Structure 1
Amino acid sequence: MDLKLSVYEIMLRLFLAMVMGGAIGIEREYKNRPAGIRTHILVCMGATIIALIQVEIADQALRYAAAKPEFVGVVRADEARLIAQVVSGIGFLGAGTIMVSNRSVKGLTTAASIWAGAGLGIAIGMGYYTIAICSFVGIILALTVVKRIIKINAIKKLEIRYIHREATKEFIMNYFDSKKIEVEDVDFDVDFMDDYRIYTNVYTIDLPRGMNYTDVIEDLSMYKNITKLRMINV
């Protein structure tokens, strides 16, 4: 069994990694995400390089064992060892794109795309072209098409700051009832000022079909006692 790679084969695999990783990065950069085209190219090509090195190590081990049969039981080449380090190590880079602020989490999709790009690079580097091409198509579809086809009205939190507690709470609850908005949970907070108080309610709400959060914010913003409105991703 000959695992020796030609220069043409190495260049082909690195080129595929650059093209496929770059295509994923273009989609992320177009949406102004933390990791763009260069990051995804480097991640995919880096994983490909590691996989190529692993193939070369395995080839050298086989050649050495063939040349010196007496050492067959001693010479070992685990093709999954370096690749396992890529799979675990890429998590640190992906974690760097995840940002948590004001009760919301951003960057999870970009972190996942980096991790998937590394897996794509491994498939290319090992020469599994069918897996690589099918995976690439799946990743691109997941990033560009799925969200347009499948629309999920996820539960979110609505932060409302207001004054005049009794009147404003009554207005908010009447609005929710009139729009058939279901309140899953409520968190209360109050800030004490010199001669007045500012109340903050964080509502976990579930909107009825056909209604969006922009409409809710626009409707509630018309009420004079409400001083701040903000959506928080769960």
Structure 2
Amino acid sequence: MVSLLWNVPYFEITLRLFLAALLAGLIGWERERDNHPAGFRTHILVCVGSALIMLISVYGFGEFMNSPNVRFDPSRIGAQVVSGIGFLGAGTIIRQGVTVSGLTTAASLWVVAGIGLAVGAGFMFGAVLATALVLVSLEVLNRVDQWALRKNRLRVFTMEIEDQRGKLSELANAFVDLGGSVQKIDIKQYGVAKPNVKIQFTVMMNEEVKVEDLCDEIRTIDGVQSIQTE
């Protein structure tokens, strides 16, 4: 007996795998552009792998379908992708103090796994529509969210500080004491030649606090070498 997979036209297999790579590439490019933990290549690999697993699950065991002792369930192998992708997504989540980042990227990996399964099963319309909705969510709604936050006086402070123990929490507490609410902390890069750290604080400002006055206060903290705001 011959597996059903060999009866699927090569064009159909090629189309599904390339479509999975294309759809995942669109989502991965958005993540790559913003320097998120999982980018272009990771999303493509997850989606193509999921599509291939679904192809095998649907068509790879046709030789056993006529056996009276075998119950054929094409969703069984594909279901393992949904639970297994959680381990990969967990690796993109980073916690820094009270700030957690990478949740959106982990969710996008989970979604592209679903898109890959849909493409592998031949549900092309659902895969394309899901990709469009994900791109709208990541790109358009992200801009709307940033615009709304700016209306609420969300400011980004970029500073270089000396690499000292406890300095990060000291600065975060300073923003709070001066009337701000720290929303996010990003450590962009570490100094190589000298022990300095470049950090971005995303802070929701109180309307009564002037940004210039806050920057002047932060500059007086020991170890702060420079501070800029957007």
Q: Which residue of 2 aligns with 1:5?
A: 8
Closer, same or farther in 2 for the Cα pair 1:147/1:56, shift >3 Å? same
Letter of the 1:82 counterpart: I
Contact 1:58 1:78 in 2 (8 A): no
Letter of the 1:42 counterpart: L
TM-score w.r.t. the length of structure 1 is 0.65
Contact 1:97 1:108 in 2 (8 A): yes
Q: Which residue of 2 aligns with 1:137?
A: 132
Letter of the 2:81 counterpart: V
Cα distance in 2, alignment partners of residues 108 and 8 from structure 1? 36
Q: Which residue of 1 aligns with 2:143?
A: 148
Cα distance in 2, alignment partners of residues 119 and 104 from structure 1? 28
Q: How far apart are 1:88 and its partner, in Å? A: 0.3
Unaligned runs of 5+ in 2: 156-168, 182-202, 225-230
TM-score w.r.t. the length of structure 2 is 0.66
Contact 2:82 2:114 in 1 (8 A): yes
Unaligned runs of 5+ in 1: 66-70, 163-168, 183-204, 230-234
Letter of the 1:149 counterpart: V
Alignment of 1:65-104 (within 5 A): 65=66, 71-72=67-68, 74-104=69-99
Q: How far apart are 1:57 and its partner, in Å? A: 3.4
2:78 aligned with 1:114, yes or no? no
Cα distance in 1, alignment partners of residues 218 and 50 from structure 2? 56
Q: Which residue of 1 aligns with 2:19?
A: 16
Per-residue displacement from partner, 1:60-111 (whole Å, max 9, x unpaired)?
A: 333xx1xxxxx43x22111121111100000101111111123211111111
Q: How far apart are 1:139 and its partner, in Å? A: 1.0
Closer, same or farther in 2 for the Cα pair 1:216/1:24, shift >3 Å? farther
Q: How many pairs are equivalent? A: 179
Cα distance in 2, alignment partners of residues 224 and 10 from structure 1? 59
| Bigger Rg over Cα | 1
